């Protein structure tokens, strides 16, 4: 599944794909929010969580770019998260 295919799904199906097929990659905590990064095939989904009660605020999808910057400090950049997946 490519990002375009994922975005064509309705919101409930997107969440199902995230929870069923998403691979947890990393967490980033800021002063007022917590983000969990997941990979699904060759794109990423960032889930924003309110840290005091764990409520999901929303999600955003991307392939690369500035949203990834906050996670790169703790990642092994020699290996992509999807290298272990069979396409």
**pLDDT tens-digit series, residues 44-87:** 999 999 988 999 999 999 998 888 888 877 555 556 555 655 54
Q: Where are the domains of the chain?
A: 3-75
- The structure's pTM equals 0.79
For residue 68, the model assigns a pLDDT of: 83
Which phi and psi (to 5°) does residue 42 adopt? -115, 35
**Fold observed for domain 3-75:** Viral Envelope Glycoprotein; domain 2 (3.30.67)
For residue 66, the model assigns a pLDDT of: 83
Do residues 47 and 56 lie in contact, with contact meaning Cβ atoms separated by under 8 Å?
Answer: yes
How far apart CA 11 and CA 59 sit, in angstroms, is: 10
């Amino acid at each position: 599944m490519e990002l375009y295919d994922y975005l064509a799904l309705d919101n409930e199906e997107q969440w199902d794909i995230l929870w069923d097929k998403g691979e947890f990659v990393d967490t980033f905590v800021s002063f007022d929010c917590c983000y969990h990064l997941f990979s699904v095939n060759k794109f990423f989904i960032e889930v924003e969580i309110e840290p005091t009660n764990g409520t999901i605020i929303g999600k955003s999808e991307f392939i690369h770019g500035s949203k990834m910057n906050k996670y790169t400090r703790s990642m092994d950049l020699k290996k992509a998260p999807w290298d272990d997946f069979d396409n």
